[in-house]
Structure 1
C-alpha cells in the first residue's frame, strides 16, 4: 500500500462510515489512488471531472449515473457534490489539483462520510497553497 492509499484508509475507511474512496488528479483526469475494491475506470474519472466543470447544473437537476447506479443530487456547488441512492451515497469534493471521492452504504452515517472527506480535502487544499 502506498502513502496515498494509506492516507485514504487512515482518514476515511477507518471512520467505518466510508465504504470506498479514491483520488483523481485533475491535471490528466486519472485515478491517482483508490482503496481496495474501488475500481474506478478512466471514464468514471472523466464523468466526475465533467460533473464539476461542465455539468454542475445538470447534476443538480437530474442527478448522476455512476457505475451503473443513478444517484439523486443532495448538494452540488463548485467544490462539493453529494449524491444519494436509497441507503447508498457518493460524495465528491474538488480541490485545485484533485477530486476526492467517497462512497457510503447502508448502515453508515452519510454525515460522517461527508465530514471525513471534506476534512481530507481541506488537508490537500492546505498542501496546495
Structure 2
C-alpha cells in the first residue's frame, strides 16, 4: 500500500480523522498528506524532538503548545511514542513508528478517543510491517 493510501484509507477513511499526514521519523520530509493539510518543516522537527523526549523541547511544548498546519494546540499528553494536542473541541494525535510519524487531526464532530485508537492501530500495523 502507498503512503498516501494509508492517509486516505486508514486515517481519513476511518471516519475518525478528518485530515492527516505521514512524515519521516527524521522530521525532514512529508511522505503523504491530506489535501490542504500542511505540516511545515519547523513543525515536523519540533514533533520529532518532542517524541525523542528532548527535555528542553518538551518543556517548551508544555508551556507554549505545539503547532501543526499553522494552528496552535495545547499539549495534552505525551505517552512514549505518542503525543496528543487539543484546540477547543478539535485535536491532533501523533504516533511514531520505526521510520515514520503519523500526524492526524480530528474535528469537532469526531471523538478524540476514536481518533487516537485509529492512529495507534495504524502505528502498530506499520511497526509490525517493519516501518
Q: TM-score range by the shorter chain?
A: 0.7 to 0.9
Q: CA deviation at 1:8?
A: 1.6
CA separation in 1, counterparts of 2:27 and 2:65? 24
Alignment of 1:1-129 (within 5 A): 3-27=2-26, 29-53=28-52, 54=54, 55-128=57-130
Distance 1:123 1:72, change over 3 A: same
Q: Secondary structure of the residue that 1:59 maps to in structure 2?
A: helix
Distance, in Å, in 1 between the alignment partners of 2:130 and 2:114 is 24
Q: How many residues align?
A: 128
Q: How far did 1:28 drift?
A: 5.9
Deviations 1:85-123, CA, capped at 9 Å, x for gaps:
101101110112111100011111111111010000001
SS at match of 1:51: helix
Q: Where in structure 1 do 4 or more consecutive aligned residues deviate above 6 Å? A: none
- Cα distance in 1 for residues equivalent to 2:12 and 2:36: 12
For the Cα contact (< 8 Å) 1:29–1:49, is it kept in 2?
A: no
Q: Can you give the 5+ residue segments of structure 2 that lack an aligned partner in the other structure? A: none
Structure 1 unmatched ranges of 5 or more: none
RMSD: 2.0
- Tell me: CA distance 1:128–1:57, structure 2 relative to 1, closer, same or farther (3 Å): farther
1:71 partner SS: strand
Segment of structure 1 superposing worse, 76-85 or 28-37 = 28-37
Which of 28-37 and 57-66 deviates more?
Answer: 57-66
> How far did 1:62 drift?
4.2
- Between 98-107 and 66-75, report the one with greater CA deviation: 66-75
Q: Provide closer, same or farther for how the CA distance between residues 35 and 85 of structure 1 changes in structure 2, counting only shifts above 3 A.
A: same
- After superposition, give the CA deviation of every residue in 1:9-58 in whole Å (9 maximum; x if it has no partner): 11111222201111111246211111222122322221211222222343
